[in-house]
Amino acid sequence: MRKAALSFPFLVSLALGGCVTSAPAPNFGPSPSGQSERSGEITPWALTYGAALMTAKVYPHLAATADANANLFVSPVSLSQGLGLAYLGARGGTRDEIGRVLDWPSVPNAAVPIRAYNAQLSDTGDADITLGIANALWLAKGLPIRDEYVAEARSGFGAAPETVDYAGDPTGAAARINGWVSRETKGRISEIVSPSGFRDDTAAVLTNALYFKAKWQVPFEETETRTFTRGDGTRIPITMMKRIGRFDYRETHEGQAIALPYAGDGSFVMEIFLPRDTAVLRRWEREMKGGDFFAGEQGGNDRFDLAAEQAREMRIILPRFEARFDKSVKAALIAAGMPSAFDQQRADLSGIVSGVRLAINDVAHATFLRVDEEGTEAAAATAVKIVVTSARIEPQVPEMVVDRPFLATLRDRKSGAVLFFGRIADPTAIP
């Protein structure tokens, strides 16, 4: 049976296609909202649905400011898990805002299903399909991190804590973070942070990396050169791949949609949503709703719910291409409904550290996509940079609070003479 997650357009179908595999599947069945029917519990289905809702909130803001010829694609899984690491340590209004953007309920066990969810996504059940997801915490040297935060990030997200020196060695810190991202994305994303972006007040960087590679169920064998019309109307020559096969397909007055299956049982697919013209595309982007990713609504009452379609014999002609996206999504997240996390006066990330006020300084998101005759390779990385806002980071050392009567000496250590000794039981404040 087809699951709704297969109807995600853009790169979402790559990032979330693993929700349907040959392994025992978690419950992704219909639900009226992103939360479980059992109050306060986040289910695997809710994580998928929440990532879709988040994308529908963030993507229109990115599209509104993008150049007409810009490639614009995000990974909902990567972005939601990077933000999820911040959500674990958020409190009060900041936690509520991030939770609403992620469509996660404010419950203590929010991270519990993530690690199992990622394992389910990664178990593709086919040697020709690879999907890997990783998380990590990059903590400033001397940061008074809360042990419970590290424990929850490790148990929930599989995020290992690493200590780096942002203030003393920003180049080394960036090299370690970028090296990790490069390894986890098989070299497709080599840089997500820059040494110039680190300051003395940089406290942590929370990272997610996602990698996907799959062969087509039937490879393309024919190519020809055709003309591709770009977003601004200019035309360029490009290599097009073509083949005939049976595909889930629908056509309406607004455009066409097709699902191209990858190896195995066809659970993993790339979906192509082709608008009639640029005006329709702009409206789709502007009026996107969370339900679009599941019901497939793309304007008016027309639906591109390919899972409900019967396969039909079709010729598909598709560009062979490689594209990248690398941009801060801070402004889009603020517009989507989580401004306080970035506000140094209002941010509350007190669940991460003790005695230090933190705020999110930026959220960097990078993606890579390559489509050719053999299949598809895609990668994504998210880095949530957190800074100190109102206190300097103090080393974690044993603490002594002199808040009761005490004894004191005044001693000449050279001679050993005790000059004064006695008890202070009622110290008088100096005016």
**Confidence check: pLDDT of 347 > 90:** yes
Q: How far apart are CA 395 and CA 322, in angstroms?
A: 46
Residue 350 · residue 313 · CB < 8 Å: no
Q: How far apart are CA 226 and CA 238, in angstroms?
A: 6
pLDDT digit string, tens, across residues 203-257: 999 999 999 999 999 999 889 998 899 888 898 988 989 999 998 887 888 888 8
Burial (CB count <10 Å: 0-12, 13-18, 19+), residue 26: middle
3-state secondary structure of 234: coil
**Confidence check: pLDDT of 125 > 90:** no
Rg, C-alpha atoms of the chain: 26
Question: Residue 12: which of 201, 226, 347, 259 has the closest Cα?
Answer: 259
pLDDT digit string, tens, across residues 353-395: 988 899 999 999 999 989 999 999 989 999 999 999 876 555 5
Specify the CATH architecture of the domain 4-215+321-388: 2-Layer Sandwich (3.30)
Over residues 406-411, the mean pLDDT reads: 64
First-to-final CA distance of the chain = 78
pLDDT digit string, tens, across residues 182-207: 999 999 999 999 999 999 999 999 99
Torsion angles phi and psi, residue 156, rounded to 5: -85, -45
Give me the pLDDT at residue 8, please. Answer: 27
Over residues 148-168, the mean pLDDT reads: 94
Boundaries of every domain in the chain: 4-215+321-388
Amino acid letter, residue 411: R
292: its two tokens: 């679009």
3-state secondary structure of 209: strand
Q: How many CB atoms lie within 10 A of CB 147?
A: 8
Cα atoms in the Cβ-side hemisphere of radius 13 Å centred on 59? 28
Q: How far apart are CA 17 and CA 40, in angstroms?
A: 26
Give me the pLDDT at residue 112, please. Answer: 66
The pLDDT-based confidence of 404 (bands split at 50, 70, 90) is confident
Bridge partners of 248, per DSSP, are 259, 311
Q: Assign residue 127 a region: left if phi > 0, alpha if psi is -120 to 50, beta otherwise?
A: alpha
List Cα–Cα distances, 346 to 139, 236, 260, 274, 373, in angstroms.
Answer: 22, 49, 46, 43, 51
Q: How far apart are CA 165 and CA 1, in angstroms?
A: 50
**Confidence check: pLDDT of 129 > 80:** yes
CA geometry: angle 108, 111, 114, nearest 5 deg? 160
When comparing pLDDT for 38 and 82, which is higher?
82
Strands 269-275 and 311-319 turn out to be unpaired
Q: How far apart are CA 245 and CA 316, in angstroms?
A: 8
Over residues 89-105, the mean pLDDT reads: 90
Residue 252 · residue 274 · CB < 8 Å: no
**Confidence check: pLDDT of 121 > 80:** yes
pTM (predicted TM-score):
0.83
